[in-house]
Structure 1
Amino acid sequence: MLKKGGERKEVLRALGEVFRAHGYEGASLTLITEATGLGKGSLYHLFPGGKEQMAGEVLAEIDGWFEVNIYAPLREADDPARAIAAMIAGVDQYFHSGDRICLVGLVALGAARDTFAESVDSYFARWQHALAQLLRRSGLSKSQAQRRAEDALLTIQGALVLARARNDAGIFRRALTELTKRLLAPSD
């Protein structure tokens, strides 16, 4: 639980976990105040736009983490194998080896999808584009690179869902291992 003077990043982290656990729709003000330790007045002072602003800022925080730790390294890498290994390690770290769901994916599936459509689309599109660019630099054709980048996102997201549904984080780790092999395989 956070103290009333908790830093904004801590508040956003707590909000993110509430949204992960209950979805945007199920994240009640009671759950939010319990998780952050802030009263309603303090929350509305920090987030005058209410729950929508809270979720928007949490999504922006996630986007910032992925920009720094996933997208930019993929765009700037000279060594595709090291860049893919770093991406896989970052994804494994961020999603706690499959124990943490993708909040952006959860929002994409929920009723709030349209409210956050731009943020959700940007998250996936930028990731796919950065990975496809790296794969192009590794010698794949444009279409092969696009297909493999799309497959990577499908694998990661699907593995997160299946690992959670089956309560088996090993599913996620195995999927990441196999994905690494597929991404680095010679062109078709």
Structure 2
Amino acid sequence: MSKQTYVPILLKLFRQFGYEGVTLSKISQETGLGKASLYHHFPRGKAEMAETALNYVNNLLETRILEILKREDPPIAKFQDMFAAISNFFNEGQSSCLWSVLVMQQSSDDLFHEQIKWAFCLWIDAISEVLIDGGVDQKMARERAEDAMISLQGALILSHGLKDTAPFKRVMERLPHQLCQGLE
């Protein structure tokens, strides 16, 4: 099997345990691969495994999330569809965000900071562009986009802390309207 076969498992493990918390033994157990086979697929070890999971998430952002914002729909429809796709990706708030898990651990932040920063900036810029096209000034559009990321990440953390997905679902429902407040 190709290494891409193991990406969903790696994503699940790194989301759940973070970079520092995932051991090669745990990865071996979950994938069914021995350590030698893991190194065959991922010669640089755990760092390459996490990078592969991160690349997968970044690709999903570009192909599934941001493509929605390029449609010729009204801004509210774009944002509603985008947040529905996000809800699906995060399993209605039950799954953690790989970016936030990796960025919160110093060792993995050092390794992956540029990739994570790139993804957040890309997303913020895409949201800002929709808002600017809708008549919001550039500074306000950027602030709203950043606030949307803050709300999304905060809702994920709170839902995990409470073991209750209601806050995440509520934020996903409200964000499109908050972003579009006052649009032409």
Matched residue SS, 1:175 = helix
Distance in 2 (CA, whole Å) between partners of 1:142 and 1:151 is 14
SS in 1 for 2:111: coil
- For residue 155 of structure 1, the aligned residue among 151, 157, 163 is 151
Q: Hey, what does 1:131 align to over in structure 2?
A: 127
Distance 1:59 1:47 in 2: 14
Map 1:72-87 to 2 at 5 A. 72-87=67-82
1:26 to partner: Cα distance:
1.1
Is 1:98 paired with 2:93?
yes
* TM-score, structure 2 normalization: 0.95
Counterpart CA distance in 2 for 1:17 and 1:136 is: 36
CA distance in 1, matches of 2:88, 2:32: 27
User: In 1, Cα distance between the equivalents of 2:5 and 2:91?
Assistant: 18
Hey, what does 2:84 align to over in structure 1?
A: 89
Which protein has greater RCO, CA pairs closer than 8 Å, 6+ apart?
A: 2
Separation in structure 2 between the aligned mates of residue 12 and residue 77 of structure 1, nearest angstrom: 33
- 1:10-159 matches, within 5 Å, as 10-111=5-106, 112-159=108-155
Deviations 1:116-157 (A, max 9, x none): 011110111100000000110111111111111011100000
Letter in 2 for 1:169: T
Are the equivalent residues in 1 in contact too, given 2:76–2:177 (CA < 8 A)?
Answer: no
Structure-to-structure mapping, 1:2-13, within 5 angstroms: 5=1, 7-13=2-8
Residue 26 of structure 1 aligns to which amino acid in structure 2? Answer: G
**C-alpha contact (below 8 Å) 1:72/1:130 kept by paired residues:** no
Deviation at 1:43, TM superposition (A): 0.7
Distance (Å, rounded) in 2 between the aligned partners of 1:77 and 1:89: 18
Alignment correspondent of 2:162: 166
Q: Percent identity?
A: 33
Contact 1:81 1:184 in 2 (8 A): yes
- Residue aligned with 1:62, SS: helix
8 Å contact from structure 1 (residues 20, 101) kept in 2: yes
